[in-house]
Amino acid sequence: MNNSGMQENSPEAAGNSQSILGKVANADALKGFKSTEDAFGMKALENVRSANSDSSSQNKPLIRLQDPEHLDPAVTDFKTEQEVWNKIEEVKKEQGQAGVSSLYPRKWKRILPKNESSDETQHTFSVLQFNVLAEGLSSGPTVTTPFQIDTGDQTDSRGGNNYGGFVGTKNPELVLDFVHRRWRILEVLLTTHDENNNPGEGGCRERYNIMAVEEMDRYYGFFMPILKLFGYNGLFIPKERAPGTKLGWYSDGCGLFWSDKMFELVSEEKRGFNVGNQVFLIVVLRHRVSDKLIIVAVTHLKAQDNEANEQIRIAQVTELLQHIDTVSNSIGSTFEDIPVLIMGDFNSAPSLVDDKPSTVGCILDRNEGNKYDSSYSLNDEGFYTTWKTRGDKTTQRVIDYIFFNGPRCNSLECMNILDVPSVEDVAPDVLPNLRYPSDHVMIAAKFKLS
């Protein structure tokens, strides 16, 4: 048991996928992984199928990670925040030779009436949600993969190592090259869009206090070491059988970062769902100033827009909500007393049919148990969280969310949301492009602890 009373996965249950996933970030759990090297000489860790698995899948990696003890050479020379910003500007300048490369302008939208006496206090914090687009799902055909491609399994429907099938992206060799794109992802994570607070000399004064990310496959070697320079701590959970692994890449998964100055980690729970290979992460954080606890969850649900997969997503989100209830009960708090945030890529649009079960409906209109609200209005015209062309299909829809338990919670209010890039600014391009490094837009909200 950990210090919140949440049951941790047993290391003895080596054949259980949830045990592997739940323990993977802990040093003692890495004993289940074998050490190897990628094509560039970087230390890596693999967890492969056991000998009693189906013979056709033996020795294929379930999980492949960068070794947490070995940094990506791209980050070893960076010692200060300003050095990181300088690198970001260098990459933008290089991309700018092909067209406009600045991030799209965005503004914060007020949700609550302004109250000078209680607004901008030490009890406010900001969060973001961002599917960063995995390197293994977007790289080009001429890029050397870290590992051997599984030539016997080329079933990935998203374009394999052909720029992920993003045929609508111009200059893909520049936009989707991860050598450039990782720095633009950092730019999105570190740019708050507050007035007079965009990157410049000395970087941003303000930062997001909690960041939920999906499809991150360079957590240990790149993103976590860089974000530590900016005062963040974090956790990561990889997917088993992530599609990028058969294409020669590392496993992607869900990450959660928080400002170590504002929040302290109390407990964590990392699991794979009972159905599918998707994962979730739940943490309890303590707000250092107010001493209040807050539950934060991040997940990435089953992809593809069809009825069969929607049923899987419904099962997954139902399981997630049950675990959150259990965590809340384990720390002796009622739903009305403890703030809860649920963020992620749910791969499901808001349902327009009230009497038809849906993934989002399970959260907003839960028949039994605690209900949640969306920080964004899901009916707003012009609101989208992904806009891309893959193959011959262009999609623009809402599938990423920031849910919270207010106003049912007595101590949490959503004050502001960050608007998405306007359709006029993005069109006729689609995502990703020179001005944005992912096929999803980052969404963000500001909250107040009452």
The C-alpha atoms of residue 44 and residue 36 are separated, in whole angstroms, by: 5
Q: Which residues of 403-438 are buried (b: 16+ CB within 10 A; e: fewer)?
A: bbbbeebebbbbbbbbbbbeeeebeebbbbbbbbbb
The C-alpha atoms of residue 331 and residue 328 are separated, in whole angstroms, by: 6
Compute the average pLDDT of residues 307-328: 96
Indicate if the pLDDT at residue 55 is higher than 80.
no
Indicate if the pLDDT at residue 205 is higher than 90.
no
Nearest Cα residue to 134 out of 346, 342, 440, 390: 440
Place of tokens 């406010």: 124
Whole-number percent of the chain with pLDDT over 70: 82
Nearest Cα residue to 125 out of 419, 402, 437: 402
pLDDT per residue as tens digits for the range 240-280? 999 999 999 999 999 999 999 999 999 999 999 999 999 99
- Specify the pLDDT at position 201: 42
Indicate if the pLDDT at residue 64 is higher than 60.
yes
> Do residues 403 and 127 lie in contact, with contact meaning Cβ atoms separated by under 8 Å?
no
Q: Is 215 left (phi over 0), alpha (psi -120 to 50) or beta?
A: left
Q: If you average pLDDT over every residue of the chain, what do you get?
A: 86
Indicate if the pLDDT at residue 116 is higher than 50.
no
Compute the average pLDDT of residues 35-62: 73
Using CB atoms within 10 A of its CB, is residue 302 exposed (0-12), middle (13-18) or buried (19+)? Answer: buried
- Specify the pLDDT at position 324: 95
- Specify the pLDDT at position 10: 31
Compute the average pLDDT of residues 97-120: 82
Place of tokens 């939920």: 212
Residues 6+ apart with CB under 8 A from 175: 95, 169, 181, 432, 433, 434, 437
Q: What is the pLDDT confidence band of residue 353, given thresholds at 50, 70 and 90?
A: low
Indicate if the pLDDT at residue 66 is higher than 90.
yes
- Specify the pLDDT at position 58: 52
pLDDT per residue as tens digits for the range 125-181? 999 999 999 999 999 999 999 999 987 655 554 556 899 999 889 999 999 999 999
Q: What is the pLDDT confidence band of residue 229, given thresholds at 50, 70 and 90?
A: very high
Indicate if the pLDDT at residue 28 is higher than 80.
no
Q: Which two tokens stand for residue 119?
A: 């607004």
Report the side by side order of strands in the sheet with 124-131: 108-110, 412-418, 443-449, 124-131, 210-216, 253-259, 232-238
Indicate if the pLDDT at residue 304 is higher than 80.
yes
Q: What is the pLDDT confidence band of residue 120, given thresholds at 50, 70 and 90?
A: low
Q: What angle do CA 66, 71, 76 make, to 5 degrees?
A: 155
Compute the average pLDDT of residues 219-233: 96
Indicate if the pLDDT at residue 402 is higher than 80.
yes
- Specify the pLDDT at position 17: 38
- Specify the pLDDT at position 314: 96
Compute the average pLDDT of residues 350-365: 83
The C-alpha atoms of residue 99 and residue 79 are separated, in whole angstroms, by: 31
pLDDT per residue as tens digits for the range 191-202? 999 865 554 444
Place of tokens 């060799």: 173
Indicate if the pLDDT at residue 15 is higher than 90.
no
Indicate if the pLDDT at residue 1 is higher than 50.
no
Q: Which two tokens stand for residue 341?
A: 């945030």
Residues 6+ apart with CB under 8 A from 443: 128, 129, 130, 376, 385, 400, 401, 402, 417, 418, 420
Going 245 to 246 to 249 to 253, the CA torsion angle's sign is negative
Distance of CA 60 to the CA centre of its chain: 25
Question: The pTM is what?
Answer: 0.90
Look at 119-123, 298-302, 340-344, 405-409 and tell me which has the smallest mean pLDDT: 119-123
Indicate if the pLDDT at residue 23 is higher than 50.
no
The C-alpha atoms of residue 271 and residue 237 are separated, in whole angstroms, by: 8
Q: Where are the beta strands (DSSP E) in 193-323?
A: 210-216, 232-238, 253-259, 263-272, 279-287, 293-300
- Specify the pLDDT at position 337: 86
Q: What is the pLDDT confidence band of residue 411, given thresholds at 50, 70 and 90?
A: confident
